[in-house]
A and B are shown apart, each in its own frame.
Chain A
């Protein structure tokens, strides 16, 4: 579904991604772990072109993102993204947050968009919050709404950038629960996280990044149980 080849990204002098090759298959949950500053977010943000790669190629469903003629807005509709800081739209109600993109960019009717929003709100357990403004919500609720908002576009893949890192500990569980259910339903997901329990339980494959490269990858049992690379061992010994 997504194929990344020799991806490089620099910010001025700083080379953050130094040759990434990766493939994400339909229905797969890929979890990206690694120390702070290793380029995890940058990698994820390159996948939907929030960061423009310096070189290399990303092919999504057969279309190269680096091709100048690619309509990036069109492709982004198929890639949901969830941010660490939620980024709900504060001037819109929860319902409006969810229905905005479907009605605006997919020309979905108001009625249909509202129905979708209600279904999604029920799915994330927040059916009663439709008419509330985001400031009234807790962090965990905000993140669940942010997930619903992304899902309203019925994307083919969901990108998560540390979705639970800004949450109070007691709210982490409710968000992970929603993500687990999503994974079970067969959603293709790329998740950057420090939640090793989630990675182990839900991940089909783990990518360990360090210094702008994928140092090691494998199934959770392999990578956590028997890391081969010294840097993976070192990292895991610190976080587990």
Chain B
């Protein structure tokens, strides 16, 4: 194994890792907001909202991420909606992740004891106030592990946007591979960086969870 290319190319990996992290953060935030809205729609009593949310969730969980990516990047410009490589990546990963996060939120919301809703409503809180002040904060705590796990999944799956030319970690590692004619080592470095990212994140989430639990 020869890692001497690193002295020349280390900047590629740093830049790539930065973009990977940025992609993932945007995705988790946007996907989180989308997922929360979808879960509220799915649990709503208004059947149109419910139907839209259900269709969305089923569709995006039931089709490959790569196909979704190509539709966003190559397909949507046909309809006059074009994105640069980074934005297309964020958009695709977010709409995909929202479908998964919606199910995480739904389980979290349904996991909150029904008595909590009854207690809040009996005090005169509206449905909306009950959601915001009582149910969602508790649901959020319940789902933090699952949400953290989704973050980790997103970091790994974000590598797929390299195929449309988003210069994140995978894309840059591949560039180094072809520049150096070394098929092996640059990818090992990339794998290692992905691992460090996900491992550090899972440790961090572990600490956060313990903090929250320590409160009760």
Contacts A77-B123, A89-B116, A91-B216 aside, 18 further interface pairs with beta carbons under 8 A come to A73-B125, A80-B122, A81-B119, A81-B122, A87-B116, A87-B119, A90-B138, A91-B137, A100-B123, A100-B125, A101-B123, A101-B124, A105-B124, A105-B126, A105-B129, A135-B216, A146-B119, A150-B123
B61 proximal to A (CB < 8 A):
no
Cα A90 to Cα B115 in complex, Å, equals: 12
- The interface residues of chain B, by DSSP majority, are classed as helix
Known interface pairs A87-B116, A89-B116. Does A73 touch B126 (Cβ–Cβ under 8 Å)?
yes
Report the 10 A-B pairs with minimum CB-CB distance, sorted nearest first.
A77-B124, A87-B119, A101-B123, A81-B122, A87-B115, A135-B216, A76-B124, A105-B124, A91-B137, A133-B216
B contact set with A: CB distance below 8 Å: 113, 115-116, 118-126, 129, 133-134, 137-138, 141, 215-216
Known interface pairs A87-B116, A133-B216. Does A104 touch B122 (Cβ–Cβ under 8 Å)?
no
Cα A48 to Cα B123 in complex, Å, equals: 10
Contact of A50 among B121, B133, B134, B215 (CB under 8 A): B121
CB distance from B55 to the nearest CB of A (A): 29
Known interface pairs A87-B115, A91-B138, A100-B133. Does A74 touch B124 (Cβ–Cβ under 8 Å)?
yes
A55 proximal to B (CB < 8 A):
no
CB-CB < 8 A to B141: which residues of A?
A: 91
Per-residue CB proximity of A121-152 to B under 8 Å, as 1/0?
00000000000011110000000001001100
Per-residue CB proximity of A77-104 to B under 8 Å, as 1/0?
1011101010111110000000011001
Cα A79 to Cα B119 in complex, Å, equals: 12
Tally inter-chain residue pairs, CB-CB below 8 A: 69
Cα A1 to Cα B137 in complex, Å, equals: 36
Cα A153 to Cα B124 in complex, Å, equals: 9
Interface size class of A (residues with CB under 8 A): 20 to 34
Q: Are B124 and A87 in contact (CB under 8 A)?
A: no
CB distance from B5 to the nearest CB of A (A): 51
List 8 A-B residue pairs with CB atoms under 8 Å apart, sorted by A's residue number: A73-B124, A73-B126, A87-B115, A89-B134, A89-B138, A91-B137, A100-B133, A104-B129
Contact of A76 among B113, B122, B134 (CB under 8 A): B122
Q: Are B116 and A50 in contact (CB under 8 A)?
A: no
Known interface pairs A83-B115, A87-B113, A91-B141. Does A50 touch B122 (Cβ–Cβ under 8 Å)?
yes
Cα A85 to Cα B113 in complex, Å, equals: 11
CB-CB < 8 A to B133: which residues of A?
A: 100, 104
Cα A28 to Cα B182 in complex, Å, equals: 88
Q: Are A89 and B123 in contact (CB under 8 A)?
A: no
Contact of A104 among B113, B125, B138 (CB under 8 A): B125
Q: Are B216 and A83 in contact (CB under 8 A)?
A: no
Contact of B215 among A79, A87, A133 (CB under 8 A): A133
